[in-house]
Structure 1
Amino acid sequence: MLLPILRYFICCWGLVLVLLPATLRGQSPTAAAAAKTIIPGRLVFKLKASTGQQRNIPENTRTPVLNAALARLNARNVRPKFPLSAAPDARQPGAVNLGLIFQADLPTALPVEEACQALRKTGAVEYAEPLYSYPMLYQPNDPLSDSTLASGQYYLKNIRAYRAWDISKGDTSLVIGIVDAGTRLTHEDLKSQLQLNRLDPIDGIDNDQDGYVDNYYGWDFADNDNNPSRDPSSVHGILVAGCAAAAPDNNKGITGVGFRCRFMPLKIYPSTATGSFGGYEAIVYAADHGCRVINLSWGGVGGRSRFEQDVITYAAVNRDAVLVAAAGNTPAELEFFPASYDHVLSVATLQPSDERSTNATYSRRVDLSAPGINILTTWGDTDTDYMGVGGSSFAAPLVAGAAGLLRTHFPQYNAAQIAAQLRRTTDNINALPGNVAFAGRIGSGRLNVLRALTETAQQSARVISRTTAPARRAYAPNDTLRLAVTVQNLLSPVTNLTVTLTSLSPYVTVRQGTFEVGALATLAQRGNATAPFRLAVAASAPLNTRAVLRYRLQDASTGYQEDQYETLILNPDYVVLDANDLHLTLTSRGNLGYDGLGSDVGEGVSYRGSAPLLAEGGLLIATPTARVTDNVRNDRRSNDQDFTALVRAGILTQPLRADQEAYGVLQDSLPGLTNGRSVGVRVRQRGYAWAAAPHRDYVVLTYTLTNLTTDTLKPLHVGLYMDWDLPGEPGRNVATWEAGRRLGYLYDPAKPTYYAGVKHLAGGQASVYSIDNQAPAGAAVRLADGFNTAEKLLTLSSGTSQQTSGLPAGTDASQVVGATLPRLAPADSAVVAFAVVVAPSLAQLQAAADAAATRYQQVLPVRPAQGIAVALYPNPTTGRLLVELPAGPATVRVLSALGQQLQEHTAPTGHSIQLDLSAYPAGVYVVQISTAGGVTTWRVVRQP
C-alpha cells in the first residue's frame, strides 16, 4: 500500500505548489475526499461473548464451526489481535473486550469481503471485517517568517496559548501519542520531547515483557520493527509532532502547544513493500503504554467499521485516553473516519481570521475548530528546519497539545471530561461571514486554551448511549421507531436538565421528543428506557436519505445549552420482510439477503433471530442463446450488474393480500445494446409475508416478467440462486430436491438445526440444480473460480437432472430452483412464483411449503404463461375485491356457484376495477374475465 499513499502525497504537493496562491497553498477547494482502502490478505473478527470468555487462547475461544470455516478459507496465522490488551472493568460502562478480536492472514487471491462473509455466516462472530489503510491529510505550504519570532506562530495567539501557559505548562509525565508517519529522532525541537521507554533499552531483549523487543523510541506498526523514524518520502509525522510537542524555552525553532508534554512517535505508514497501514494497532499500543492523549491526523470516507470503533472505545473508555482527530480537507459535508467515531474529538480547520478554511470538511460530527492555515512547525529534512503547512492534520495536534495541558491541570478529570471542557470553552465564531452558512457543522467554536484552563464552572451533559427499536441499520418510509438514550453529566452538577430531540430532516417526525432528566451530579447517568423518544419516517423519504436528529441538552436554571447530533439512514435500497419468523431482505435489483456477495447493503436472511443463513441469493433469467441476466457473483471476482431499478423496493402501507407486502420493478438492457449478452425483460417483483400460523416460516416471492424485445423468448428460464450456509457447519450441507412438492432445500446431515430452501409455486416447468461449491477443477459448475455465464445457464436449463449435492456427509452447497417457460411473446407477460422457506425440522419445512402453496392459490393466483395476465385479490375476501386486467378492453362478470350472473362490468384498456361482494352471503363465487385473448375464471371465497 506504500505506492498509492506516496502518489496521494506527491499529487497533493504538486497541486499546492503549482495551482494555488502563496497565501492559500494547501487549500484546494476541489480536492477529492480521501478514502480508505482495503488491505489485501488480512481480516479481523470478533468472537461473540457467548462463544467463550477465556481471553487470547485461540483454540479455546473459537468454536469448531469457526475453525472449520477458517480452514476452508486457508486462513493462516490466526492469532489474537491484541493479546496484551487489558480486560474490561465492570466499573467502566461501555468498555470493550479487545481480547475477543482475532486477525487472520488469507491467500492474496481471495477477496477479503468474501472471506468476511463466510465467517459471519458461522454465527460465531460478532463481526468480521477487512482492515483498511487511510491516507495522510498532508497539505504543505510555503515557509513563513523567522520561526523564532512570535509572528511566526500566529495561531498561538488565536488560541490564547501564551496566557494559557501562565496557568499550566503541562508536564513531562504527560505523553501525547503521535500516531502518524514517524518522526526525526534528532530534530533540535523534538529530540528532548521524546518519551523514551527506559525499561526496554536496545539490547535485543524484551526487558519490560510487553511483547515488543527494544521499543525504546516507540514502534513502527507498518513494518513491525522498533524504528519509528520517518520514511524519507514523508515528513507528515514530524510536522504533526511539532504542532503538539515542540520543545519550549530552548532558543530554537518553535513551541508546541503542549509545552512540556512529551510525545510518543508511533509509525503507521510503511517504508517497505511488505508493510501495511497500522493506525488502529498503534492506537491500542499508545493507550496501553500510558499515552493520555492520542492524535490522529489521518483518515478517510468510506463508512463505519465496528472493529475500528471497538479500538477507539478501548482507548477512550477502557484506557481513559483523549483521542483527537483531523476532520478532513474536503470542502463537503462528510462523515470522516476516525474523526466521526464516538469518543473522538473531531477538529476542523480555520483560517487566521477564524473563518472556516475553504477546503475544510464540515459536519455535525465536528466538535470544535482550530487554526490550520500557515501553521509553522518542524519540517524534518534536517535537524534545524521548519515549514508553514496547512490542513486539518495540523489543527488537530493544536487541540491535542491543549488536551495535554488540561490533563496536567485537572488530574481528577477523565478523558470524557477533558473533551467536554475543551468543547464548552471555545469561542463562538458562528457569526463571522465565512462561518454563518456552516453554523452547527464546525463544532462549538474555536479552541481557547486559556478559557479551558480557567473556566471551571462549566456544565456539560452528553448522550453516551442510544438504542433503537426496532434495531435496524436503516428505516423504511412509514416506519415508526423508539429511541432510548442514556445521558451522563460530565462537568458541574445540573439541577433541571432536559433533553429535547428535534429532527432537522423533513422526512422524520418526532412524536415524543422530551426527556426530563432532572438533577444530575457530576458523572451521574440517567436513561429514558421507560419512556423513549418516538419517531416516524415520512412516506416520501428519498432513497438513502441521511436524516440528522438533534439532542438539545438544557438546564433552564443556569442557562446551560449544548447540542449533540444523531444520524438515521432512511429509505435504503432494500426492504426487509419481517412479519413472521423468517426475515428476508429484498433488494431493488433482484438480490436476496444482500446486494451482492460481500456487500453489507442489506440485513440478510435469518430465522427466529439466527445468524445470517444466506450468503448470497438472487434472481437469474436466461435464454438458450447464452443471454443471461442477473446481479449475483460472476467469474471476475465481482458481481454482475445487469438489473437496474425502475421502481425501488418498498413496503406497501396498506397491503391487501398479506400482512406485509413488498414491491419493486427492475429491468435489464435490450440485447442489441449489450451485444446479445442480456435478455431484455422487465420484472415486477413482489414479496408477501403473513404473521399467523401456519404461515410464519415462509415468504412468497412473485416475478412478473414482460418481454421487451421484438422476438419471442423461447424458452425462457427463471430461477433463484441461493447459497445457503446454515448454522452448525456451513461446509457440511446437503442439497436435495423433493419432486412432489417442487421443493429444493439444504440441511446439515450431522446436526440438522435448520432446513432452508425454495419451493416453486407457479409459472412454467419447475427445475433444480444442486451445486457443490467445492467441486474440483473440471466440474460442470465450479464456484471456486466464480460463476460464469455458461454455468448460470446450465443451472437454469438442466431441468431436474442435478437434484442433490453433498450426499452423504455434506459439503459447501448451494442451489438454483427455477422454472422454464415454453415461450414469452413480444410485449407479453408471465408470472413465476416461489416461496423461500426455513424451519427447524424437515416435517415443519414440508408443512410450511404446503401452507405456502395453499395460501398462494387462495390469495395470489396467477395465470400460466400462455393465459391472460390477471391478478385478483384479496382472496378470500370479506367483500372488497380488486381485479388487475391486461392490456385491451375486458368484461368482468361475477357469477354464483350455480352459474347465475350477479354483476357485469366493462373495463377500458389496462384498467383495474374493484368488485364489491359485501351484499352477498358467505360462500364461493366465480369471477369470469373475457378479453381478446380468451376467457378465464377464478373461484373467490366470500368470508363472513
Structure 2
Amino acid sequence: MKLSFTLLLLSLLLEFNSAGAQAPPTRPGLLVVKLRAGAGAPAAELPALQAALQTLRATSLTQKFPRSLAPSPEQPAAVDLRRVFELSVPPEVSLAKARAVLLATGVVEYVEPLYVRQPLYLPNDPLADSTAGKQYYLRLTQAYRAWDFMKGDTSVVIGMTDTGIRFTHEDLRRQVKYNYVDPINGIDDDGDGYIDNFYGWDFSNNNNDPRANDDNAVHGTETSGVAAGQADNGLGIAGVGFNTKFLPLQIFPGTTTGAFAGFEAIVYAADHGCRVINMSWGGAGGYSRFEQDVCTYAAVNRDVVLVAAAGNTPADLLFYPASYDHVLSITATDAADAKAGFSTYSHRVDLAAPGVAIISALGSKNGSVDADYNYNTGTSLAAPQVTGAAALVRAHFPQLNAEQVQAQIRQAADTSMYQVPANAAYRGYLGTGRLNVARAVAALTQREARIVSSTIAPARPSGYAPGDTLRLAVQVRNLLGPVAGLSVRLISLSPYLTVRAGSFAVGSLATLAEATNEAAPFRLAVAAGGIPVNTKATLRYDLAGEAGYRSTQYLELLLNPDYVQLNVGDLSLSLTGRGNLGYDDITATVGQGVSYRASTPLLSEGGLLLATTPTRVADHLRSTTGAARQSFFELMQVARMAPGPRADQEARGTFRDSLPDPQRPRSVGVRVRQRGQSWAAPAALRDVILLDYSLLNLTADTLKPLYAGIFTDWDLPGTPGRNVARWDSVNRVSYAYDPLDPRVYAGVQVLGPRPAGVYAIDNNAPAGTPIYFGDGFSPAEKFLALSGGFNRAHREAGAAATGTDVSQVVSMLVPRLAPGDSTTVAFAVLAAPSLAELQGAAQAALAAYQQVLATARPAAPPGWQCYPNPAQSQLQVRMPASVGAATVQVFDSQGRLAAQAALPTGGGPVALAALPPGLYVVRVLAAAGSWTQRISHE
C-alpha cells in the first residue's frame, strides 16, 4: 500500500517537475462525480444536485458501477463505488465551473475529468537476444525453480486489461477463462448485466468480443503470453503463471468510435472473480481520486492483487495507475540486472523485473500461421511477470490476502541488483529489488512491517508554506511474519524540511497487528525562506527490528507552492504567481480557492486581464475550451508577509508577459508587480482583500490605451449558477448574489480616480451574443469586456426572478503609458452576508486604500540609498550626515525580524550572508523618523 496523503500533493508537483510530463488527455464532455456518504437519497431525488445539473446543462448522470460490492464495516479502508456517477455536460463547460457548481451543493465529494491512459508499448530490435534460451527472464527471476514448488492453479484467474487479444495463438487458446454460464445466445444468462460475455468483454467498444479482430491486438497478446502463456505444451513460450488462466478485457479501442475504459475493466475483473489484475498501461501525472477509488475497491473490497507498469519515461515521476495506493509498481531491468535505460524510477516503485528483449506471443493477424512470436521491450513486459508470480503465490498460499501477497513478492526480491554499478544512482528508486519468483513461492519466511497510512496536520493538499510546522502520525501494519523490537525513524532528505521529533518505538508486532504514534506524532518544520517554488521534499521511513529486519519507505510533500493564501479575515483568497485569483489554472489544482467564513468555493475562476487592442491581450485565464492562455510568466514568486507593512497580511510578487514581436504579436509587453492585503480588524475590513498592480511598459512604444481589469466567474451559494450581476455606481462595486437564496454577496470594487468599467456576462448566453462562452473566451471577447464596460449597456446580467450563471469584468482605462513608465491600478475583492454589509466593506476598502496612498511613499531624506538590489552577501545603506546614527532592521517575508545592525552617521554595510535568498523589507530607524525599502536577496 502506498502512502495516500502524498497523492494530491504530487499530482500538483508533477506539473512543475522538469522531468515530468503534462497531465494526460481527457474525454471531452465527460466527468466523474462521487456523491458524499449519507447524501440521503438517490441522485435523482437530491434537489440541490438536480439544480446544479440544470445549471451545467448536463445531458445525463449515470451510475457507473451499480452492481459493485458495498463496503464492509470490517474493512474501514473500503470504498463505495455505488456513489460514483458519470456526468455528461456540453464540451464547453469547464472543469473549474463544474467543480464549483457541484461542490457547492454539499452532496458531492469530488468532480474530476475522465483521463485517457495509454498502453506501454516500446518496440525493440528483434535480434537483441539472439542467443540460445530466448526466455532469459525465466532463468533470471528463477521461475523454473518456482515451478518445482507450485505450477499455479486454473482457479486463479488474471484479469488482463489491455488491447484486444489473439485467442487463436497456440500458447493462449487454452489459457482463456471462458464464462460457460453465459454462452453466446443473446441472453444475459448469469444476470450480471453483460449479455454473452463468454470471452470476457471489450469495454472500449462496449461489446462482448475482446478478441484480436483488428490490428490493435499485439500489446494485449504479448502481455498475456508473458503472464499466462501455456506451459508444458511443447510449443513456444511458457508464461510465468504456468497453469493460471486469464480473462481478456479490452480497454483500448481498435476503432475510431471506441474510448479508453481501463478502470471500468478493473471493476469488472474484480467483480468477476479475478484474483490478480495486470495493468501494462498508464500515464504520467493526472492524479484522480476516482481512479484511486477503483483501485481501492478492487484491492480492499474484493481482495485483488493489482500490478501495473511503472512507465517508459526515464525520469523520477509519478505514473498512474502504478503510483496509486494498493498497486504494485513495476519498473524494468535488463539481462544484467541494470535499470533499463527507458524505465521510469521513483520512490513509489515496488520492485523491478526484466523488461528488455522479452519474447512472447505475437498478436499480429498478418502472420501466415498462429505460432508467431516476437521480442519487445518495456515496463509493460516486466509487469506481467510479477502478475504471473502473484498468481502462483495466491495458489500456493491461499490464506494470504492481497496486501500480504504484495508484501511477499516485495520481500522475496533479489536485492543484489543494487550491487550492479549501473544502479548505484538509483538506490531506493527501483523498489526492494528484482523479482525472484522461486523465493516468493518457496515458503512464508519473509517479514514486512509497513507504513500503511500517513496523516499530516494541518492537512494542506496544495502544499506547505515557508515557516509551517507539521505533525505526522503513521499507522504501521505487520503484513507477514512476526517482528520483534520494531522501531520507525523519520529522516528528511530535503534541506528545506527539518524533523524535530522523528522516533517511534513500536515494539513487537504479530502478523497483521497494527500500531500508531497518533498520541506522540512526528514533528517537522518547513524552512523559513530560501525554498525554490514548488519544491518536492522527500521523507524516509527507516523501519528496523530484531534479527536484522530492515526496510524503508518514502513520503513526499510539496513545499512553497506557487500561491499564497490571504485569510486573516473572513474572506479567504488564493493569490497566485501569475495573477489568478483562487486557482492557478482552470483545473483548480493549485490554490485553495476563494471562500467566505469557510463557505464552499465562491469563485470558479478569476484573475487579471490586460489589453491594448482586440489582438494584444495578456492573461492566464480560460481561452479555448479546456485550456488556459499562457501569457504571463513569473519573475518573482508571490510571497506572504504576516504582518505586512500596511496590513495584517500582505502578498507580493512579480510577473510579466513577453515583448511583442513578429512571432508574438499578441503580447502587451507589461511587467506587473502585484500586491494583496488582508485585515483581521476592524470588522468591515475582514470582508476585504485589496489588490493593486503596478504596471511597467517594457516596450519601445507608448501603450495607448491600456485597459486593466479583473475577471470573476462567480458561483455563489445557495444555488451556484442561479446568480445575478449588479452594479453599485456609488461604491463602484460590481457584485453578484443568488436572488432567491441570498446567503453571500460577492464582488469587485474599482479603486482610484480613474473611470470604472463593468461588463456583466451571462455564461449561458447563446451563440451569436457578443461574448459567447460556448467556444471559450477569446482575446477579442476579453478586450470587449475590458473596453465595453464604460456605458450602461452591459453592467447587469441575470433576471431577478430566475438568475443565471454570471461572470463579471471590472476595468479601468490608462489613457497612455510611455516606454519605461509605470502606473498603478487597484481593486478590492469583497464578500458579505448582505448587500448593506457589502457596501460597508466597500467603504472600508476605500478608506484603507486612501490611507495606503497617504503612506505609500514616505519621503526619505535626500541622499538616502539602499543598494545593491538584488543584494547578495551584504547590503549598503547610505544616509546623509544630518540623520545621524541609525538602526537597520531586516524583516523576512513572514514579517519576522531576520537581521539587525547599528549604523554610524553616514551609514554602512549590513551583513546578509547568513540569510536565505528571498524577499525582505529593510527598515531604517533614526531620531528623525523611519524609512522602509523592499529588497531581494540572492
TM-score, structure 2 as length reference: 0.85
Structure 2: distance between partners of 1:96 and 1:495 = 33
Listed as ranges, the matches of 1:482-521 within 5 Å are: 482-521=471-510
3-state SS of the aligned residue for 2:495?
A: coil
2:183 alignment partner in structure 1: 201
Q: 1:260 to 1:33 in 2, by over 3 A?
A: farther
Structure 2: distance between partners of 1:183 and 1:913 = 69
1:449 alignment partner in structure 2: 437
What displacement does 1:716 show? 3.9
What displacement does 1:261 show? 1.6
Q: 1:373 to 1:745 in 2, by over 3 A?
A: same
1:806 alignment partner in structure 2: 798
Q: 1:549 aligns with which of 539, 553, 556?
A: 539
Q: Specify the code of the residue in structure 2 equivalent to 1:818.
A: S
Structure 1: distance between partners of 2:242 and 2:665 = 70
Deviation readout 1:541-591 (Å, 9 max, x if unpaired): 212222222111222x23211111112122222222233333211111111
Do the aligned residues in 2 keep the contact of 1:425 with 1:455 (CA within 8 Å)?
no
What displacement does 1:741 show? 2.2
Give yes or no for the alignment of 1:406 onto 2:396. Answer: no
Question: Relative to structure 2, which stretch is displaced further, 217-226 or 476-485?
Answer: 476-485
Deviation readout 1:247-276 (Å, 9 max, x if unpaired): 222222222111222111111111222111
Question: Relative to structure 2, which stretch is displaced further, 171-180 or 797-806?
Answer: 797-806
Q: Specify the code of the residue in structure 2 equivalent to 1:434.
A: A
Do the aligned residues in 2 keep the contact of 1:34 with 1:299 (CA within 8 Å)?
no
Q: 1:907 to 1:918 in 2, by over 3 A?
A: closer
Listed as ranges, the matches of 1:466-477 within 5 Å are: 466-472=454-460, 473-477=462-466
Structure 1: distance between partners of 2:465 and 2:286 = 20
Q: Specify the code of the residue in structure 2 equivalent to 1:527.
A: T
Q: 1:33 to 1:375 in 2, by over 3 A?
A: farther
Give yes or no for the alignment of 1:853 onto 2:838. Answer: no
Deviation readout 1:833-871 (Å, 9 max, x if unpaired): 22212233334333333333344444x3369xxxxx726
Give yes or no for the alignment of 1:293 onto 2:280. Answer: no
3-state SS of the aligned residue for 2:583?
A: coil
Structure 1: distance between partners of 2:20 and 2:651 = 38
Q: 1:634 to 1:182 in 2, by over 3 A?
A: closer
2:169 alignment partner in structure 1: 187
Q: Specify the code of the residue in structure 2 equivalent to 1:616.
A: E
Higher relative contact order (CA 8 A, sep 6+): 2
Give yes or no for the alignment of 1:94 onto 2:77. Answer: yes
Q: 2:326 aligns with which of 338, 343, 354?
A: 343
Q: 1:720 to 1:158 in 2, by over 3 A?
A: same
Q: 1:725 aligns with which of 715, 721, 732?
A: 715
3-state SS of the aligned residue for 2:421?
A: coil
What displacement does 1:312 show? 0.8
Do the aligned residues in 1 keep the contact of 2:614 with 2:780 (CA within 8 Å)?
no
Q: 1:417 aligns with which of 395, 404, 420?
A: 404
What displacement does 1:813 show? 0.9
Structure 2: distance between partners of 1:770 and 1:892 = 57
2:902 alignment partner in structure 1: none
Do the aligned residues in 2 keep the contact of 1:116 with 1:130 (CA within 8 Å)?
no
Structure 2: distance between partners of 1:426 and 1:125 = 42
1:479 alignment partner in structure 2: 468
Do the aligned residues in 2 keep the contact of 1:41 with 1:112 (CA within 8 Å)?
no
1:6 alignment partner in structure 2: none
1:154 alignment partner in structure 2: 136
3-state SS of the aligned residue for 2:225?
A: helix
What displacement does 1:418 show? 0.6
Give yes or no for the alignment of 1:383 onto 2:383. Answer: no
Q: 1:715 to 1:327 in 2, by over 3 A?
A: closer
Deviation readout 1:472-522 (Å, 9 max, x if unpaired): 222233333222222222112233222222122222222222222223222
Structure 2: distance between partners of 1:483 and 1:411 = 35
3-state SS of the aligned residue for 2:283?
A: coil
Do the aligned residues in 1 keep the contact of 2:20 with 2:284 (CA within 8 Å)?
no
Do the aligned residues in 2 keep the contact of 1:117 with 1:128 (CA within 8 Å)?
no
Do the aligned residues in 1 keep the contact of 2:610 with 2:617 (CA within 8 Å)?
yes
Listed as ranges, the matches of 1:278-289 within 5 Å are: 278-289=261-272
After superposition, the CA RMSD in angstroms is: 3.4
Q: 1:672 to 1:242 in 2, by over 3 A?
A: closer
Question: Relative to structure 2, which stretch is displaced further, 377-386 or 178-187?
Answer: 377-386
1:784 alignment partner in structure 2: 774
Identity of aligned residues (%): 54
Listed as ranges, the matches of 1:691-840 within 5 Å are: 691-692=680-681, 694=683, 695-710=685-700, 712-713=702-703, 715-762=705-752, 764-797=754-787, 798-799=789-790, 801=792, 802-809=794-801, 810-821=803-814, 823-840=816-833
3-state SS of the aligned residue for 1:753?
A: coil
What displacement does 1:121 show? 5.4
Structure 1: distance between partners of 2:310 and 2:187 = 40
Structure 1: distance between partners of 2:229 and 2:775 = 55
Structure 2 unpaired stretches of 5+: 1-18, 861-865, 870-877, 884-904, 909-919, 934-938
Q: Specify the code of the residue in structure 1 equivalent to 2:380.
A: S
3-state SS of the aligned residue for 1:723?
A: strand
Structure 2: distance between partners of 1:913 and 1:561 = 51
Q: Specify the code of the residue in structure 1 equivalent to 2:843.
A: D
Q: Specify the code of the residue in structure 2 equivalent to 1:127.
A: Y
What displacement does 1:597 show? 3.0
3-state SS of the aligned residue for 2:29?
A: strand
Q: Specify the code of the residue in structure 1 equivalent to 2:621.
A: V
Q: 1:358 to 1:173 in 2, by over 3 A?
A: same
Q: 1:862 to 1:124 in 2, by over 3 A?
A: farther
Q: 2:198 aligns with which of 190, 212, 216?
A: 216
TM-score, structure 1 as length reference: 0.84
Do the aligned residues in 2 keep the contact of 1:769 with 1:800 (CA within 8 Å)?
no
Deviation readout 1:751-779 (Å, 9 max, x if unpaired): 11221112233352333222222234443
2:33 alignment partner in structure 1: 45
Listed as ranges, the matches of 1:540-579 within 5 Å are: 540-555=530-545, 557-579=546-568
Q: 1:724 to 1:76 in 2, by over 3 A?
A: same
Structure 1: distance between partners of 2:858 and 2:753 = 14
Listed as ranges, the matches of 1:596-611 within 5 Å are: 596-611=585-600
Count of residues in correspondence between the two structures = 858
Structure 2: distance between partners of 1:136 and 1:625 = 43
Deviation readout 1:778-823 (Å, 9 max, x if unpaired): 4343333433344333433333623322131211111122333455
What displacement does 1:356 show? 1.6
1:59 alignment partner in structure 2: 44
Structure 2: distance between partners of 1:286 and 1:603 = 37
Structure 2: distance between partners of 1:862 and 1:204 = 82
3-state SS of the aligned residue for 1:196?
A: coil
What displacement does 1:624 show? 6.8
Do the aligned residues in 2 keep the contact of 1:861 with 1:872 (CA within 8 Å)?
no
What displacement does 1:141 show? 4.3
Do the aligned residues in 2 keep the contact of 1:230 with 1:237 (CA within 8 Å)?
no
Q: 1:854 to 1:785 in 2, by over 3 A?
A: same
What displacement does 1:337 show? 1.3
Deviation readout 1:282-330 (Å, 9 max, x if unpaired): 0010111111111111112123111111111111111111101111222
